[in-house]
Amino acid sequence: MSTTLRTSALGVTAGLIGWFILVEIVSGILQGYYVPLLSDIVVELGIHDSDVNWFEAAQLLLSALVVPVLAKLGDMYGHKRILLITAVLTAAATWWLAFAASFWTFLIAWALQGFYVVWLPLEIALIFERGRRQRHGVSLTRRAAGLLVVGLQVGAIMGALAAGRIYAATSGDLTLTLVVPAIAVTVVALVIWVAVPESVPEPGRRQLDSGGFVLLAIALLLVTSALTFLRLNGPGAVWVWLLLLAGIGAFVVFGRFELTRPDPAVDVRMLARPEMWPVQATAFLVGISLLGAQGPLSTYAGTDPALGYGLGLDATDRSNIIGVYLVSLIVGAVLFAVTSRRASPRIVLIVAALLVGIGYALFLPFHRELWQVLLNLCIAGLGCGALVGALPAAAAAAAPRGRTGVASAMTNMTKTIGGTFSSALFGVVLAAGAGVVASETAASIGGYLTVWAVCAAGGFVAAALLLVVPRVAFADSDEAEAELPSGIVR
């Protein structure tokens, strides 16, 4: 009987993951396609290079605001329905981007394109809920999550490589070049509509905690605004710290309010469970290195070695370093998908976090040669690749029935906040060292050492936090996977 259930569950998951890999490839294309074209976009819109920062800031802010809401709606009304709606919205925004003729229209379209960030949490929830019926949802979701991350990173590489070539093939026609990702997202929306089955939402959940989401939005706006202005204005601006304190206070109010709600926007009690809070904390910590350390890496690689540090690489060689890092993420995700079949998922998470810590710790003594930088990045990339796939699946496994979508989405939100926090911190640290070296624009080696030390500490702290997770967490068991009444803790 067990073998039959496992085979059936595998078939369900294999059918879903084939389509979801396609969705994640397109998600990766969206993340990699526009980067090589930014200089041409700046010229086309007649704006300054520094204005490009507003594109990323607007999209990250929108993502942080809408992901919890959309994931909650998926838990309430069906994950496929929300996945399809966000795919249609993303397609519309991507078509708008292709024909946007001014900075403001392009900025709005770019921000609205950020709806794609909820795709992965919704896919994880769909796979988990389908597999759960055969009592093997946890292990199958772990394997699926690793393969979805592979699709995501492959798509990012494809997008980065294809953009410049398509732009050249169209004789520099930017509009025609930007139509290509719009077509890809449109196709994906059709695939979701036709091929993806719907999940079964929990009955009786039709009232959205709008008050909770408003408080969450205010808290996120205050904190992300404070961190953005910290990077732009430095730590000397008192109002930056006032904004940050107000944001922290808003989160406290939000948490207390949620404890009084029968069906909260974010289940605070769920987040406090011993198998859940270390996962969310790890997502925050991995965001520090995954999202916050790439800018410093690029500037270090381009720094003139005549200063006594740096690699002195041009833009092409710097992009090759990022490419090697992305490949290591893919390998890490594949290894996670393979090893999670046999090894304890808790141990896999701990080892992955340790790899992140070791990789960045090696930067402290070894950073003078290209091969050293590549080796360090590959070690850290293996750990990051495994964690990116593992964390949403681990959160889904630790969540009660009917809350898998929002639990998975919370790992995305905390990761984004971690990346925003570290980006602001690293910007201040590196700027503090500028001007004290031979170059007026280069950061000091002390600034880079601080960045690497913070990333290493994040990995080691995450590994330590995961040690407190119960040994049986995230594992399949008949008791854990049986059909339980709503609200029963697994």
3-state secondary structure 111-138: HHHHHHHHHHHHHHHHHHHHHHCCCCHH
Using CA atoms in the order 168, 174, 180, 186, what is the torsion angle rounded to 10 degrees? 180
Is the pTM value of this prediction over 0.85? no
Token pair 């070539």 is at which residue? 165
User: Hey, what are 265's tokens?
Assistant: 């926007």
Please, are residues 230 and 109 in contact by the beta-carbon 8 Å criterion? no
Token pair 């196709």 is at which residue? 187
Q: Tell me: the pLDDT tens digits for 292-307? A: 787 788 778 877 788 7
pLDDT score at 184 = 95
How far apart are the C-alpha atoms of 13 and 220, rounded to whole Å? 35
% of the chain exceeding 90 in pLDDT: 24
Q: Residue 352: what residue type?
A: A
Q: Residue 387: what residue type?
A: L
pLDDT score at 185 = 96
Q: Tell me: the pLDDT tens digits for 264-294? A: 877 888 888 888 888 889 999 998 888 778 7
Whole-number mean pLDDT of the chain? 80
pLDDT exceeds 70 at position 381: yes
How far apart are the C-alpha atoms of 288 and 456, rounded to whole Å? 10
pLDDT exceeds 70 at position 9: no
pLDDT score at 15 = 65
Average pLDDT over residues 96-116: 91
pLDDT score at 489 = 34
Q: Residue 370: what residue type?
A: L
Pick from 291-295, 353-357, 438-442 the range whose average pLDDT is largest: 353-357
Cα–Cα nearest to 125, from 88, 87, 85, 70: 70
Pick from 7-11, 116-120, 200-204, 207-211 the range whose average pLDDT is largest: 116-120
Residue, of 414 and 228, whose pLDDT is higher: 414
pLDDT exceeds 50 at position 400: yes
Please, are residues 67 and 409 in contact by the beta-carbon 8 Å criterion? yes
User: Hey, what are 104's tokens?
Assistant: 């403001």
Average pLDDT over residues 226-247: 82
Using CA atoms in the order 165, 171, 174, 179, what is the torsion angle rounded to 10 degrees? -70
Cα–Cα nearest to 228, from 446, 413, 68, 419: 419
How far apart are the C-alpha atoms of 12 and 80, rounded to whole Å? 15
Q: Tell me: the pLDDT tens digits for 174-198? A: 899 999 999 999 999 999 999 888 8
Lowest average pLDDT, out of 252-256, 259-263, 315-319, goes to 315-319
